[in-house]
Amino acid sequence: GESVGLHLPTLSVQEGDNSIINCAYSNSASDYFIWYKQESGKGPQFIIDIRSNMDKRQGQRVTVLLNKTVKHLSLQIAATQPGDSAVYFCAENDNNNDMRFGAGTRLTVKP
Amino acid sequence: SQTIHQWPATLVQPVGSPLSLECTVEGTSNPNLYWYRQAAGRGLQLLFYSVGIGQISSEVPQNLSASRPQDRQFILSSKKLLLSDSGFYLCAWSVTKGAQPQHFGDGTRLSIL
């Protein structure tokens, strides 16, 4: 997963631009991945998931890309809006089928 | 549709006092249930999970315990809270473990004084 630390990576984008949030995972045997959005003071909200037999999956304004060769996952948000401002984190399943969560990236959308 | 409820939303407790946090799920049967702790700037730490009534797996040895008295009820407890128990506690449910999304409640912010 992402590096663990007290200071989250941050991404600042202009309203209307596209956002790309990245996640590096460590377990080559992981076969299921999830992206979550967490607003301040709330629980994580499921955005989109992808299984390892796919490279790309699209939702409403979001796309997840999976590159198994380099163990990299990304979340693309199209036409980013102020309501998209939140912490985004990825999760992968491990050998015990527990989900391992990254620390997240803080997305700030400037109006 | 399925919903998950956690309460209380915030809690301030003195050191040495007991704890009981409750989580209930509606709209599904026999869910997998989870308790996590989230520290600032860190990923979620799995504390307990349950695949059925009375079945609890502990992931991290500590001052906390969990119980599942009913199919859709999951309780996080402590007999004597420590300062280090402060944090943001999240309950989640899923249909299966590791192959389906986990859905989270809105958490409890626990402060120990």
**What per-residue confidence (pLDDT) applies to A7?**
65
**C-alpha distance from B17 to closest chain A C-alpha (Å):** 24
Contact between A4 and B42 using a beta-carbon 8 Å cutoff? yes
Please choose, from the candidates A94, A59, A89, the residue with its C-alpha nearest in 3D space to the C-alpha of residue A73: A89
Q: Give the residue on B whose Cα is nearest the Cα of A94.
A: B98
Residue A34, chain B, CB below 8 Å: the answer is yes
pLDDT band at A1 (very low <50, low <70, confident <90, very high): very low
**What per-residue confidence (pLDDT) applies to B1?**
87
**C-alpha distance from A46 to closest chain B C-alpha (Å):** 7
Q: A56: Cβ–Cβ under 8 A, 6 or more apart, which residues?
A: A50, A63, A64, A65, A66
pLDDT for residue A95 is more than 90: no
Q: What is the pLDDT of residues A18-70, one digit of tens each?
A: 999 999 998 899 999 999 999 998 999 999 999 999 999 999 999 999 999 99
Q: Rounded distance, CA A40 to CA A87, Å?
A: 8
Is the peptide bond preceding residue B8 cis, with omega within 30 degrees of 0?
yes
* Residue entry with tokens 């959005």: A37
Q: What is the pLDDT of residues B35-79, one digit of tens each?
A: 999 987 788 999 999 999 999 999 886 889 999 999 999 999 999
Q: What is the 3-state secondary structure (H, E, C) of chain A?
A: CCCCCCCCCEEEEECCCCEEEEEECCCCCCCEEEEEEECCCCCCEEEEEEECCCCEEECCCEEEEEECCCCEEEEEECCCCHHHCEEEEEEEECCCCCEEECCCEEEEEEC
pLDDT band at A2 (very low <50, low <70, confident <90, very high): very low
pLDDT band at A94 (very low <50, low <70, confident <90, very high): confident
